[in-house]
Every structure is written in C-alpha cells, then in structure tokens.
Amino acid sequence: MNINSVVAKKKFGQNFLKDETVLRKIIQAMPKNDNKIVEIGPGLGDLTKFLVDVKSVEAFEVDTDLCKLLHSIFKEEIDTKRLHINCGDVLQAWKSELVDEPYDLVANLPYYIATNIILKALADPMCKNILVMVQLEVAEKFCATHGEKVFGSLSVITQSIGEAHIVVKVPPTAFEPPPKIDSAVFLIQKNSDRSDENFEQMLKVAFKQPRKTLMKNLLAVYDKTLLQEAYEELNLTLTIRPHQVSTSDYHQLYKITRSLDGRRESGDTSK
Ligand code: SAM
C-alpha cells in the first residue's frame, strides 16, 4: 500500500487535512513548553510531519493499514525516537494512563469521538494543553462564554479548568475527502484538572432542557426552598435560563446548595 492508494474509511472519521496554511497555523498556535506531544489519529501523517520537526510525538492510530504506512513514511523518526506510534483504539489505551509524562494534545480529531476525547484529556492530569480540530459547532460549545446561546455544560467544565479560544475556522475544502460540515481548531490552556464529578452532575441537571428556566431544570432534583435561598444569595432572577449563568455562579450555586443541604441533614436551621 502506498499513500496514493489510500481510500478514506468513513467509520474511522477519516478526513485528511491537506491545507498547508491551516497545518502551519496549528503549529504556530502550539503553547511553548517542553511537554511531549500526543497526536490522536495521525492518518497519513500530514500534521505529524510538522509536529516531529518541533517535538517528540506519541501517536495513536486505530487503522492498521495506516499504521503500516506511517511506519514506512516515518522510519527515520521512529528509529531516532522522535515518534512512537501506538496502533489501536486510543479510548482503549486511555483505560489506563495514556502517557506517563506531561503532554499537550495536538490533533485533527476523528469527529465521531471528538467530545469524548476532549473530556478525557480535560480530566487527565498529565494533559496540560489541548489544541484540536473538531466540528465548528463542537468547538463553539467548548469556547462559549455565558450569555451565548451555545453556552452549556461543556463550556462550564472547560472554563472551570482553563481558558479556551478558537484559533481558526476551517472550510470543508481544506480536507480530502471534504466533510459535510465546517470545522475549527481551538485551544484549551489548562490551569487545573477536571472539576469534581458531583459538580458535573449538577450541570447535567441544570442544562437538561436548555431553553427552560434554570429553576425549572434544577427543581427536578433540588428542593424548592433550598434553591430559593441560593438564588437570593447569588442575586439570580427566577426566570434566568441555564446559558445566562456564569461559570463562577455555577460554582457558587453548587457550594451553596451543598452547604444548605448539609445543614439541613444535620438539623442546623440557623443562618
Ligand atoms: N491527522 C490526520 C490529518 O490531519 O489529516 C487524520 C485526521 S482524521 C480526521 C482522524 C484520524 O483518527 C484518522 O486517521 C482515523 O483513522 C483516526 N482514528 C479514528 N478513530 C480512532 C481511535 N478510536 N483511536 C485512534 N485513532 C482513531
């Protein structure tokens, strides 16, 4: 098999990035540090070529045909340990530690599992920065600020852990074969690890029906008087919608409901 005879496999989300301007923009946006690079889905190696020029790369590729091809394209880089290719499903590999040193994730992700991969990287303490290409709509959700219609639990989780912004929007013509949707590269610079699971549970409830009021969503799980007290303390209007509440208010809301809950359980009704 040579590079010209490769037929993209839909089931693996294969859309190969061919636009050199976009490839260079990804390299320019990489945070400057000594971290290793993890690339998920090197594909035909178009991004990998640029990455191995700047850093050593640990790559994960599920397609065995592409793994063979990559081993022949990057023989020298593999021999000199600039590149190590793990052939297999990255989500299986992630069941234990993916890499045992600090790393930045830089990848043009397979879109069918992109959100899952980003959430795993956000939760992985070894992952320090995430620079990835995904579907534009998904990038906008991770990067949204409160008030925007697409602000949701992914935005709150991301903002709780670091800062995110879109680096460049990418049209379908940049890929071979072209996908049906627009894409975007975005960067998350982490400054802490993933928030606690109970907080994320509360977010799930809060955004269950995004167009309803936040109060209506929360009432499915939380006690009405407890919520009224929390709203009063935070100065939130009863009609506020989930996307209108800031990340710091979500954290406050979580803290208050937990401490009020705790006081109720212990029978302490004093303020
Ligand atoms: N990086 C290449 C590029 O920019 O042209 C290819 C990107 S393509 C959108 C996604 C790549 O992820 C494909 O090579 C695909 O085979 C690989 N992939 C899909 N599912 C995967 C998985 N579960 N684990 C590892 N790689 C996967």
Q: Indicate which CATH number applies to the domain containing 246.
A: 1.10.8.100
Answer yes or no: do 170 and 246 share one domain.
no
Answer yes or no: do 120 and 227 share one domain.
no
If one counts every other C-beta atom within 10 angstroms of the C-beta of residue 79, the result is: 9
Q: Which of 143, 162, 190 is the last residue of a domain?
A: 190
User: 271 lies in a domain?
Assistant: no
Residues 231-260 have pLDDT tens digits of: 999 999 999 999 999 999 999 999 988 876
Answer yes or no: do 148 and 16 share one domain.
yes
> How sure is the predictor about 270, in pLDDT bands with cuts at 50, 70 and 90?
very low
Residues 76-128 have pLDDT tens digits of: 999 999 999 999 999 999 999 999 999 999 999 999 999 999 999 999 999 99
User: 104 lies in a domain?
Assistant: yes
Within 8 A by CB and 6+ apart from 128, the residues are 31, 33, 35, 102, 103, 104, 190
Answer yes or no: do 15 and 109 share one domain.
yes
CA–centroid distance, 12 to ligand 1, in Å, is 6
User: 152 CB less than 6 Å from ligand 1?
Assistant: no
pLDDT value of residue 258: 82
Q: Kindly tell me if the per-residue pLDDT of 268 is higher than 60.
A: no
Ligand 1 atom nearest to 111, measured from its CA: 9
C-alpha–C-alpha distance, residues 225 and 184, integer Å = 43
Mean pLDDT of 180-201: 90
Q: Kindly tell me if the per-residue pLDDT of 262 is higher than 80.
A: no
Ligand 1 atom nearest to 110, measured from its CA: 10
Q: Which of 190, 211, 238 is the last residue of a domain?
A: 190
Specify the residue with its C-alpha closest to ligand 1, atom 22: 89
For 219, the domain range is 197-266
User: 206 lies in a domain?
Assistant: yes
pLDDT value of residue 74: 98
User: 46 CB less than 6 Å from ligand 1?
Assistant: yes
What rounded mean pLDDT belongs to the chain? 93
Specify the residue with its C-alpha closest to ligand 1, atom 8: 14
Answer yes or no: do 203 and 140 share one domain.
no
Ligand 1 atom nearest to 14, measured from its CA: 8
C-alpha–C-alpha distance, residues 104 and 36, integer Å = 6
Q: Kindly tell me if the per-residue pLDDT of 271 is higher than 50.
A: no
Answer yes or no: do 48 and 103 share one domain.
yes
Answer yes or no: do 30 and 96 share one domain.
yes
Q: How many domains would you assign to the chain?
A: 2
> How sure is the predictor about 3, in pLDDT bands with cuts at 50, 70 and 90?
confident
Token readout for 118 is 């980003």
User: 94 CB less than 6 Å from ligand 1?
Assistant: no
Mean pLDDT of 184-195: 89
Answer yes or no: do 176 and 242 share one domain.
no
Q: Kindly tell me if the per-residue pLDDT of 263 is higher than 90.
A: no
Answer yes or no: do 60 and 181 share one domain.
yes
Token readout for 64 is 């065995």
Q: Kindly tell me if the per-residue pLDDT of 182 is higher than 90.
A: yes
CA distances from 241 to 6, 145, 211, 246 (A): 48, 14, 7, 11
Helices (H), the chain: 20-29, 46-54, 64-73, 75-79, 90-93, 114-123, 136-143, 153-161, 197-206, 214-219, 224-234, 247-265
CA distances from 130 to 40, 121, 143, 258 (A): 11, 7, 12, 31
User: 219 lies in a domain?
Assistant: yes
Answer yes or no: do 7 and 36 share one domain.
yes
User: 186 lies in a domain?
Assistant: yes
Q: Kindly tell me if the per-residue pLDDT of 266 is higher than 90.
A: no
Residue 12 falls in which region: left (phi positive, over 0), alpha (psi -120 to 50) or beta: alpha
User: 155 CB less than 6 Å from ligand 1?
Assistant: no
User: 60 lies in a domain?
Assistant: yes
User: 126 lies in a domain?
Assistant: yes
Q: Which of 190, 216, 237 is the last residue of a domain?
A: 190
> How sure is the predictor about 220, in pLDDT bands with cuts at 50, 70 and 90?
very high
User: 45 CB less than 6 Å from ligand 1?
Assistant: no
User: 227 CB less than 6 Å from ligand 1?
Assistant: no
Q: Which of 244, 234, 235, 158 is nearest to 206 (CA)?
A: 244
User: 9 lies in a domain?
Assistant: yes
Answer yes or no: do 119 and 174 share one domain.
yes
If one counts every other C-beta atom within 10 angstroms of the C-beta of residue 120, the result is: 18
Answer yes or no: do 131 and 252 share one domain.
no
Mean pLDDT of 171-197: 92
**Which CATH number does the domain housing residue 20 bear?**
3.40.50.150
